[in-house]
């Protein structure tokens, strides 16, 4: 595969390549051409600039997919600001943490979401405005021209759950996002006649790249918030979508959905991340969409995207992670710090310009994950040490072995066990809490919560539904009078997980 141009540009230039009259963004009530899109991004950027925020100030968004959430990733950086997209599934406690941690100066969102915030949730220095009011106000502004800033400047902070503690913000530059768009557009072979149905949340790198890579290629994006798989099938048919990105649980729902009257025949490529595809699911996808390429991918927010599997290799190597994407150098480092031999397990280390700038205002956790690249790295500099263990075969294909940390990966979401445990303890209904991920055929992993207390099942479940988003809800809560302890007097998580795993598998 030839390599694309590695020169980074300011992120908002990603929409400058499309032809003026070509469709760029298919909203619910109208479709914007590239000329329309450039005008509206420029006007929103001008409105943001007129608010008088200092360069680098953070602007957060918390809304459904629509005009504002699609324009803001470009408009905020064009205005010299930093975008902080918030997962629309999060609830007020998580949103309050992100606003405080990022030091956001402005929160833009849907009125219904903003109404759930309580006094003190947005910091005193953070204003909140309804997205409709902002879009209306921006209509009267003269469009701000494309930016000419340094591509290494910070463009966004993407919040992701850590293996311990509250969500942490990954700092991504214009260059990170630009080169990510170029890389994906290149290996997916996106073109100006492609239509991407954007079903993934735009608050994540995988979801946001639905916009950026498609626009880089001059194609059209149709954003969709879906409730049922049927919503996706209808939207694919309506927009004649050619590209669909999803996570394994959604793929399972979609292969079981009814695709009538050739509804899915327009699809050319199906991309997957956020969990591995199983052989039976790949077979079902191939049967449902025989004309479409299946492209499994692996990534982590700290470095965006690391690997993809060429669709021509999926049938023969369905469990492989593939090889490095353009602009990524993926090393397998053994315990001695050297390159692992074929078949030898080692830690996946990602080097190159897709590596993000670290965690926002968290030098300690940044130092744990972002460390100097191995001496034999081509790129050198700072690398992401993923904590994932992989092995490479004789042909250079990578295969996942296991995770170092205790992160729960459910339905494409990375969930911090401690966040769930903290929420359970905060209710005052339990004395101890331990959360794990257990294998689940539909979700990849399901949340399993073990608590020590007097068995107030209904009260605890009600409190967790109030305080945690739906994807963090435990699928089972087990009450115990005692929890196993290790020699240091701490909860023996290893022993507890072993008991749970044996029980689940049995």
pLDDT at 3: 84
pLDDT at 163: 44
Handedness of CA 408, 213, 372, 159 (dihedral sign): negative
Strands, sheet with 168-173, edge to edge from the N-terminal-most edge strand: 127-130, 106-109, 58-62, 82-85, 154-160, 168-173
Average pLDDT over residues 267-277: 92
Q: Are 351 and 383 in contact (CB under 8 A)?
A: yes
Average pLDDT over residues 320-335: 97
* Band (412; pLDDT cuts 50, 70, 90): confident
Q: What is the mean pLDDT of the chain?
A: 93
For 156-201, the pLDDT digits (tens) are: 999 986 544 578 999 999 999 999 999 999 999 999 999 999 999 9
Domain boundaries, the chain: 408-505
Instruction: Report the percentage of the chain scoring pLDDT > 90.
Output: 81
pLDDT at 497: 85
pLDDT at 164: 47
Q: Please determine, for residue 356, whether its predicted confidence score (pLDDT) is greater than 50.
A: yes
Q: Are 128 and 109 in contact (CB under 8 A)?
A: yes
Backbone angles phi, psi at 308, to 5 degrees: -145, 155
3-class secondary-structure state, position 123:
coil
The pTM of this model reads 0.88
pLDDT at 489: 60
Q: Please determine, for residue 505, whether its predicted confidence score (pLDDT) is greater than 70.
A: no
Average pLDDT over residues 227-235: 96
3-class secondary-structure state, position 479:
strand
Q: Please determine, for residue 425, whether its predicted confidence score (pLDDT) is greater than 60.
A: yes
Q: Please determine, for residue 62, whether its predicted confidence score (pLDDT) is greater than 70.
A: yes
Longest dimension (CA), the chain: 69
Average pLDDT over residues 252-257: 94
192 is written with which tokens?
Answer: 């100006």
* Band (101; pLDDT cuts 50, 70, 90): very high
Class of domain 408-505: alpha beta
For 104-157, the pLDDT digits (tens) are: 999 999 999 999 999 999 999 999 999 999 999 999 999 999 999 999 999 999
Q: Please determine, for residue 404, whether its predicted confidence score (pLDDT) is greater than 60.
A: yes
Q: Please determine, for residue 506, whether its predicted confidence score (pLDDT) is greater than 60.
A: no
């Amino acid at each position: 595969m030839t390599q694309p141009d590695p020169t980074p540009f300011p992120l908002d230039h990603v929409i400058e390549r499309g032809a003026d009259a070509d469709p760029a963004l298919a909203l619910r009530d109208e479709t914007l051409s590239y000329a329309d899109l450039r005008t509206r991004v420029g006007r929103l950027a001008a409105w943001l600039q007129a608010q008088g925020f200092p360069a680098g100030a953070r602007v957060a968004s918390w809304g459904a997919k629509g005009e504002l959430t699609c324009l803001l990733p470009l408009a905020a950086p064009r205005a010299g600001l930093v975008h902080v997209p918030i997962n629309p599934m999060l609830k007020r406690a998580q949103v309050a943490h992100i606003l405080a941690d990022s030091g956001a100066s402005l929160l833009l969102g849907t009125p219904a979401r903003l109404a759930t915030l309580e006094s003190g949730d947005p910091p005193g220095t953070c204003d909140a405005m309804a997205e409709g009011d902002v879009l209306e106000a921006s209509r009267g502004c003269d469009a701000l021209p494309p930016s000419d800033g340094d591509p290494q400047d910070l463009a966004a902070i993407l919040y992701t759950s850590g293996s311990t503690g509250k969500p942490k913000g990954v700092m991504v530059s214009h260059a990170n996002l630009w080169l990510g768009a170029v890389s994906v557009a290149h290996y997916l072979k996106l073109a100006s006649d492609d239509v991407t149905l954007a079903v993934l949340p735009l608050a994540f790198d995988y979801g946001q790249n639905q916009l950026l890579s498609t626009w880089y290629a001059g194609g059209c994006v149709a954003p969709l918030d879906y409730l049922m798989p049927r919503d996706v099938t209808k939207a694919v048919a309506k927009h004649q979508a050619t590209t669909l990105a999803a996570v394994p649980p959604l793929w399972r729902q979609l292969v079981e959905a009814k695709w009538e009257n050739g509804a899915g025949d327009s699809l050319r490529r199906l991309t997957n991340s956020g969990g591995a595809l199983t052989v039976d699911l790949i077979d079902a996808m191939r049967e449902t969409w025989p004309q479409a390429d299946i492209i499994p991918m692996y990534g982590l927010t700290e470095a965006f995207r690391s690997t993809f599997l060429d669709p021509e290799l999926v049938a023969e190597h369905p469990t492989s992670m593939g090889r490095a994407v353009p602009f990524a150098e993926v090393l397998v480092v053994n315990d001695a710090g050297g390159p692992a031999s074929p078949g030898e397990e080692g830690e996946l280390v990602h080097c190159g310009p897709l590596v993000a700038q670290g965690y926002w205002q968290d030098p300690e956790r940044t130092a744990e994950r972002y460390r100097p690249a191995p001496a034999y790295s081509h790129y050198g500099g700072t690398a992401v040490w993923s904590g994932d263990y992989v092995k490479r075969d004789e042909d250079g294909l990578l295969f996942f072995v296991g995770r170092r940390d205790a992160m729960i990966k459910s339905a494409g979401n990375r969930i911090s066990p401690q966040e769930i445990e903290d929420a359970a303890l905060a209710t005052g209904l339990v004395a101890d809490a331990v959360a794990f991920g257990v294998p689940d055929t539909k979700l990849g992993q399901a949340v399993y919560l073990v608590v020590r207390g007097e068995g107030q099942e209904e009260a605890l479940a009600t409190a967790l539904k109030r305080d945690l988003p739906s994807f963090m809800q435990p699928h089972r809560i087990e009450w115990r009078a005692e929890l196993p302890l290790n020699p240091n007097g701490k909860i023996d998580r290893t022993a507890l997980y072993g008991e749970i795993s044996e029980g689940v598998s049995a």
